[in-house]
Amino acid sequence: MMKIVMCRKSAEPGLMKKFIREKFNSILRSEAHKAGVIPVQSPDDENQRLAEIERLGILERDLSGERKYNTMTQVASYLTGCKHSMINILESKIQQCKSSFGFNMIENTVIKEMPREISVCQYTLENPSQPIVIEDLWEDERTKNMSKMKGGPPFRFYAGSPLMSSRGYSVGTICVLDPSPKTLSHQQIDGLRLLSDQVVEMLEGDAGRTMVGKDEKLDEGSQKIEGQYYSAVTILFADFVGFTKMVENTEPGDLLETLNTFFSGFEKIIQKNNVLKVKTIGDCFMCVGGIPGQHKSHAHDVCTAAKDMLQFVDGTNIQQEVMGRPRWELRIGIHSGPVIAGNSGDSFDIWGDAVNIAARMESSGETGKIHITEKTADYLEGHGKLTPRGDIDLKNKGTWSTFFLEDLS
């Protein structure tokens, strides 16, 4: 009997907290309705989106005490110059804050769980493929009525990037807020997007499913590639400059964790751009466009991936600096030409002189730049902004006319 009483007493605080929160949320909904706040309609894939949240097991987890997630919110504020940031999960009716930066204890209690229909993050569901920026919440048509609510949001600025899972569903956001209206540069918005990609990778990794579906697809594709000649593909080599020195001066655990973050990010980038991973060799990442399905856009696809990889490294370096770790610098070389591709044992690989030339382009390139041959430039068909580098002697390959890729159209 005593045990029953003790259990009941221990449960009462939890039940009371739940009752108070539900009552508070009910008041907020009523205030929002009076103020004329119009909630965003649920997307067409709402059921699948909610199933994805359940698959990742996010709702039951408290991330506020986990350093890696808190680092993400801190970096978001540092990157954008905003005073506050959050990682939020968007349920069907509730927004859960899983990690935050810049809030005091009382504020953290309030934002921990709130009605979805009065959250600004709900607007990311309208176009989940892009970050949104609202320069002044009190003036924007979508959010201006929120300022009429009793105890309405004290913030004026909002920017949020959707957390898009590997299966293509938006499960929430990483967002920043500030008490003053402001703007963000394109680089800051891109940086926020890169942070959202990293948060998703961590969530999926913690759920034990990071890249599994993707890797299986790549493996299946690789198994179908018999020994075959491809007349025109584009090959990319990416290598971290000064990696040997990093090995000597960095803790092994930190080094491998960061290297894995980069390679996981690169794999996500190349998959998005229809490019196939070949292999990693130490700190070198190798991929190819135009295999297994030959298509004319292989050079453009690989060059787009290269630009995204450099942006990803820049975004990750912001996190490195916050954590007091050294910056990583990437060098990329690209060449287009014929190869033989197929499986050697259990591994996919490509062979040919074009592979060796692409490797030489990387080693003779410059830090933070994309070094391409004239052949790759020809395949871009005028869609690349190029800076001529002149004739470069590639080891054992003679003199080549090469370029630095500045931009793509």
Question: pLDDT tens track of the chain, all 409 residues?
Answer: 334 334 444 445 555 555 566 666 677 777 777 777 788 888 888 999 999 999 888 888 888 888 889 889 999 999 999 999 999 999 998 999 999 999 888 888 878 888 888 889 999 999 887 899 999 999 999 988 887 776 566 889 999 999 988 778 899 999 999 999 999 998 888 889 888 888 888 888 787 643 344 444 444 444 445 568 788 899 999 999 988 888 777 777 778 888 888 999 999 999 999 999 999 888 899 999 999 877 789 999 999 999 999 999 998 888 778 778 888 999 999 999 998 888 776 678 899 889 999 999 999 999 999 999 999 999 998 898 999 998 888 887 888 999 999 999 8
The domain 212-408 having CATH identifier 3.40.50.10320: the answer here is no
Local structure of residue 92 (DSSP, 8 states)? S
> Count of CB atoms within 10 A of residue 62's CB?
10
Nearest to 63 by CA among 192, 163, 188, 170: 163
Structure tokens, 316: 């990750």
Q: Residue 152's pLDDT is what?
A: 61
Structure tokens, 18: 């739940």
- Considering just the CA atoms, what is the radius of gyration of the chain in Å? 25
SS3 assignment, position 159:
strand
Q: Residue 145's pLDDT is what?
A: 87
Candidate CATH numbers 3.40.1180.10, 2.40.30.200, 3.40.50.2000, 3.30.450.40; the one for domain 30-206: 3.30.450.40
Segments of the chain assigned to CATH 3.30.70.1230: 212-408
Half-sphere exposure of 2 (CA within 13 A, CB side): 0
Q: Residue 211's pLDDT is what?
A: 37
Q: Residue 40's pLDDT is what?
A: 85
Tell me how many degrees the CA angle 394-399-402 measures, rounded to the nearest 5.
80
Local structure of residue 127 (DSSP, 8 states)? S
Cα–Cα dist 172/22, whole Å: 21
Q: Residue 267's pLDDT is what?
A: 93
Q: Residue 25's pLDDT is what?
A: 66
Whole-prediction pTM value? Answer: 0.53
In the numeric block, the tokens 């942070």 are attached to: 195
Rama region for 161: left / alpha / beta (φ>0; ψ in -120 to 50; rest): beta
Q: Residue 77's pLDDT is what?
A: 92
Segments of the chain assigned to CATH 3.30.450.40: 30-206
